[in-house]
Structure 1
Amino acid sequence: MQIPRKTGLIIIAALIIAAIIYGFLPKPVSVETVNIKKGYMKVDIEEEGRTRVMNRFIVSAPVAGYALRINLNVGDLVNKGDAITQLEPLRSNVLDPRNRAAAEASIKAAKANALAAKADSEFAQKELDRTKALYKDGLVSEEKLDAANAEALGRGAALRSSEFSVEVAQYELEAADTALKYSTALETGEQMEKVMIKSPVSGYVLKVNHESEGVVQGGEALVEIGDPKMLEVEVDVLSADAVRIRPGTPVLFERWGGESPLKGKVRVVEPTGFTKISALGVEEQRVLVISDIISPPEEWKALGDGYRVEAGFILWEAEGVLQVPSSALFRYDDGWAVFVMKGKKALLRKVDLGRRNGLSAQVISGLIEGDTVITHPDSSIKNGTSVTSY
């Protein structure tokens, strides 16, 4: 049956009108979405730092004299009492005997600190042993065990540091005795023997300050000795960030060259700051934060003095946190809001936020797990806008 000509024209006209109307209808906006979920979240401060030997000792000339060549290279192992060089004293001014009294006071203070550190270390070790037993019986958490282990490691490092200080103070006392002896010889006109300068501690040569033979002044640095196995990490942070960091704050050291991050703990936040010019030429107030590495030494044995690390000071962390990407948030009525995708519509939703770390924010209210939010919303998206996810 043929369609009447008039009817056919009407149908064609209707189709054309429908096509025109459809063409002018607003098309759904293509958007990127993400599902809200719970997970681990942390708030941290990230800065670049460097390692340094914890106990660095500078061997210096006790008196002015003519020093022989130092036949040591950086990295050489020296033991306590090994000869560094010989020094032929020059005629100089009489030295003050009060230096010896000061050295005696230093060694007494160092020994007292060593006794206190030993007691702290023994107590921490006992606490660790007790915690291990409780953990074995299922009475304490793994976090408690890790904390006790970290405390024992930290106290052990403090003990070794204080013992090193005793050795240094003993060397300073011997240096004062040497200086006093040779100054007395100058007064009486006695023949002066050469001074044998020995290493006060066992360790590795970190720097040779005066390699060639020649005249040196009293107190001039000759070599630097330390143990690269005893490292700490210094990081300069903005003063505004330093006030949020406390001794004991956990640290994660990343991008140091190893396969996995290293754990650490803040020991000292220095009380004074300094001015530093940033790469952009802006003056910044910075503060040094000193941290200990508490991961097992075998994990970071390749680290040395002056190596670069990236430190993340963990101010807060928690599991099972409902969080939303920062890219989905925007300001709305003095608060925060997101666009939730329901069906094919974008619906505006106000949210209350908790902790933020730059990448995501903790959701207190306004969203539930499984909600789909639009990230990077532009000005074309309004409440009720048709959207499609790509």
Structure 2
Amino acid sequence: MHSIMKWRARIGILLTGLVLVAVLVWGFLPRPVAVEPAGVSRGPLTVTVEEEGRTRVKERYLISAPVSGYLRRIELEAGDTVSAGQPLAEIEPRRSDALDPRSRAQAQAQVHGAEAALAAAREELRSAAAQAALADKALARAESLHEAGDISDDALDRAEAEATRSRALREAAEHAVEVARFELETARAVLASHGTTADGELFSLQAPADGRVLKLLRESAGPVQAGAPLLELGDPEQLEVVVELLSTQAVQVAPGTRVRLERWGGDADLEGVVRVVEPAGFTKISALGVEEQRVLVIIDFSSPPEQWRRLGDAYRVEARFHVWEGEDVLQIPASALFRHDGGWGVFRIVGGRAQLTPVEVGRRAGLTAQILSGLAPGDQVVSHPDDQISDGVRVEY
């Protein structure tokens, strides 16, 4: 009896050990890795390029001052409708500057000085006239005496020279009076003109075409220089969309490319078509301080005008360019792809295990990638593979 109990105890210990060993072996066996599967399917695929753009009036006119002068107040307001030939602004001749008390006193002193100079010149003229008259009388007497033989030829010559010199002095005095008179008139004009409007015709600026006032750059009256911008005109019903694409994106876009205009504030998206891809790019600094090469792309609306009539000049829109489209494309989520041997690979799920499968990738559209070879419709692949996934690893989902 004692022997039987010993054998039972040994058998119990042995069974317990076997159970512990089985538990340890089971615990250390590799467990399947939980994954998120993704299916391989066929369907339509559209490759797009997205970028922010803005609307722009096609034909805009910047009205500038053609001459310097004094601008009268512009009565137009932004949004007003104008017709071709309608007066937009008027420019008067330049006004004189107002004098301060010191300058006015100086101008008055110059007037008084010019008046005194004119009076002195007139007195000089009287004196020169008297001298010329006396010289003429002396010459007449000398000629009479010379005919009678009472004076010599030299005396007659001196009398003629004195008469000629006196007449010349009289003429010079007459010119001096005229100069003094002009100087007085100039001084009086300077004193009278400051702070007043110069006489002259108004210069009227007219609208070059029918349209509306887009911007009023100058409204108040005041001095204006030639070339100063005053206002902008255009027709808001003739709109286009301007988008600044990266040069690497612009090469994928061509005239005729379809564009969907989104998030512009309306209830439905708008349709457009690329009219021009400008041939020259430009450098622009991004918000992160990075230099980027950008290219302007011009889009025309293809939606009916009544759908986008609420848009105006320089309104924001989101442009989605359809650069490529396919109706029956084999595709998978782009998150399933990873680099492998210089190409691309995926983990295909076969019999509960991950199988490394090289694939050839075509075009990408956001979160979706086109598969050219390596997979078939209906296959399952691991989406978002991590370091726990390798070739042959058991997976579960």
Q: TM-score, normalised by structure 2?
A: 0.68
Amino acid at match of 2:262: E
Aligned ranges 1:206-285 → 2 under 5 Å? 206-285=214-293
- CA deviation digits over 1:229-270, x for unaligned, max 9? 221111112223223322222222222222332211111112
2-side partners of 1:47 and 1:256: how far apart? 13
Q: Where does residue 383 of structure 1 map in the other structure?
A: 391
Task: Please state how far the C-alpha of 1:22 moved relative to its aligned partner.
Answer: 0.7
Correspondence list, 1:62-141, <5 A: 62-90=66-94
Name the CA distance, whole Å, in 2 between partners of 1:38 and 1:201. Answer: 55
Q: Match for residue 315 of structure 1?
A: 323
Residue correspondence of structure 1 range 313-352 to structure 2 within 5 A? 313-352=321-360
What is the CA distance between 1:4 and its match in structure 2? Answer: 4.2
Shift, 1:89, TM fit: 4.1
Secondary structure of residue in 2 paired with 1:256:
coil
3-state SS of the aligned residue for 2:310? coil
Check if 1:357 corresponds to 2:361. Answer: no
Q: Which amino acid aligns with 1:199?
A: A
Shifted more, 261-270 versus 210-219: the winner is 210-219
Please state whether the residue corresponding to 2:14 is helix, strand or coil. helix
Task: Specify the SS of the correspondent of 2:298.
Answer: strand
After superposition, what is the alpha-carbon deviation per residue over 1:90-115, rounded to whole angstroms, capped at 9, x for unaligned? 59xxxxxxxxxxxxxxxxxxxxxxxx
Superposed counterparts of 1:28-43, under 5 Å: 28-43=32-47
Pick one of 365, 369, 377 that aligns with 1:369. 377
Distance across 2 between alignment mates of 1:264 and 1:53: 15
Q: Deviations over 1:337-366 (max 9, x none)?
A: 101112321111111222123422211111
Percent of pairs with identical residues: 53
The aligned residue for residue 196 of structure 1 is 204
Supply the distance in 1 between the matched residues of 2:15 and 2:352 (Cα, whole angstroms): 31
Give the Cα separation in 2 of the matches to 1:276 and 1:302: 30
Gaps (5+ residues) in structure 1?
Answer: 92-190
Structure 2: gaps spanning 5 or more residues: 96-198
For the pair shown, which has the larger CA radius of gyration, 1 or 2?
2
The answer for the alignment partner of 1:94 in structure 2 is none
Q: How many residues align?
A: 289
Paired AA for residue 59 in structure 2? N
Quote the Cα distance in structure 1 between the aligned partners of 2:214 and 2:330. Answer: 50
Residue 298 (structure 2) aligned to one of 290, 297, 305: 290
Match of 1:44 in 2: 48
- What is the distance in 2 between the residues matched to 1:242 and 1:335? 26
Higher mean C-alpha displacement, 24-33 vs 218-227:
218-227
Q: For residues 75-132 of structure 1, what are the alpha-carbon distances to aligned partners after superposition, in whole Å with 9 as ceiling and x for unaligned?
A: 22223333322222459xxxxxxxxxxxxxxxxxxxxxxxxxxxxxxxxxxxxxxxxx
Q: TM-score, normalised by structure 1?
A: 0.69
Secondary structure, counterpart of 1:17 in structure 2: helix
- Give 1:114-193 correspondences, 5 Å limit: 192-193=200-201
Alpha-carbon distance in 2 for matches of 1:273, 1:343: 54
Q: Partner amino acid for 2:28? A: F
Counterpart residue type for residue 248 of structure 2 = A
